[in-house]
Amino acid sequence: MTPLAGFVAGMAPPCPEDESDGGRAMPAWGQHERSSRSVVAGLGCLAALWAIGHFLRAYGVEDPAMTPAEAWLLALAGLVALVLSAFALAGPVARRYGRPRGAAVLTAAALALMAEPVRAALGLGHLDLLLFGLVTADVVALRRSAWAGRRAAWWPGPPASRAPGGRLDALRRCWATGSWAGVGIGVASALAVGPALFILYLIVTRRWRPALLATVTAAIVTLAGTRDRPDLIDRAGPIGDAANQSLAGLLARLYDSSSTPVLVWLSFAALLLAVGLIRARAAHADGDEITAFTLVGLTGATIAPVTTTSELIWMVPAVLILVDAAARLRVGRRPRTGRLTGLGYATAALLTYLLLALPPEWTVGWNAYGFAVIVLMNALPWRPGVAPATPVVRRPVVPVRVPAIPGPRGS
């Protein structure tokens, strides 16, 4: 509820029962709150449509075979994927601090819409937002699977509120247990090569079932789709171009060459791959699956031969993680600690978002995105226990035995 709507609701005189709603009482503040939410939602939809049209005109769709209707449908699908991803990533953060989840999700989606990776993906007609949404769906599935495992460890047996059997019950059980984890990564890996790194991450963290499901899904979708649209997975470009913000492009420009030195690139890429997977595995072990996936996404953007600005989409959740890390330090600080607790993470989040909000013409010339991705991949903090994706195994508590004859003093 906005402050203006709250002021209007507070100043409005109380009204009697609303007889049009079946004789049930409808308070004045409820009517004003509902109307204000409808107005905000409508204005938000209009602003999003205007932004999509502006991005399509400003960037121009790269694929000449794509019609304007197809470009609009792809942009709308990317916008839906962005909003759903914001609901899955920013919603738990708002709920943890007791804030309204809807306002936090809309704010996060609006801020992400102004970031350069989102603008480029919508305006150029790329699939990066859809790939991001598919991978985020698997994050939700893995967290639900972990929750179901913890519930089964503490309360074995079927729940008492389970509905009767049937297809609806099977779908509800599949959604509740997260058994579909890996499908989103598999579809994304079939559409582009980059998301295949998430399969390697699942193998490193020893989650064999999601890794196998992702591999099988990627193989099936690839075999079924390449005969019809083989251009979906061809996103190559010149290595030394300024728009290429990967490690290979960074090295090519530093060496002032149109191609990158292969041995140097392979050496640094292997090192960064190891660092990224080690940090992602540590974040997963500490119970922060969102940061683990973000680290894998940043690693993939760094070691890829060509990475355009639209493929830097994993920098957006990195800003959210930095903001949450600063807020956790502020909330959990002791009274005697300084007032600047969490200022470092907050400053890093602000600088990263300003970098994403600036026009790319101001940043690609000095390799800002490339250096920022490498720094985030090596310094992004994780938040222990905020998004666990590992079921807790319940172990019996062994009682401490007190010896009948006490031992000597000092033992």
pLDDT tens-place string over residues 302-340: 999 989 898 999 999 999 999 999 988 877 665 555 566
More confident residue, 84 or 33: 84
Model confidence pLDDT, tens digit, residues 243-271:
888 999 899 888 887 788 889 999 999 99
SS3 288: strand
Q: What is the C-alpha separation between 334 and 336, in angstroms, rounded? A: 5
Residue with tokens 């226990």: 385
Convert the pLDDT of each residue in 352-390 to its tens digit.
999 999 988 888 778 899 999 999 999 999 888 777 766
Which pTM was predicted? Answer: 0.80
How do residues 127-181 score in pLDDT, each as one tens digit? 999 999 999 999 998 888 877 666 655 555 555 445 555 566 667 776 677 788 8
Give every CB contact of residue 112 below 8 A, 6+ residues apart in sequence: 82, 86, 118, 316
| Mean pLDDT (the chain, rounded) | 79
Considering only CA atoms, give the Rg of the chain: 25
Which residue carries 């960064």 as its tokens?
272
What's the DSSP call for residue 387? B
Check pLDDT > 50 for residue 11: no
Distance CA 392, CA 233 (A): 39
Decide if 111 contacts 48 (C-beta within 8 A): no
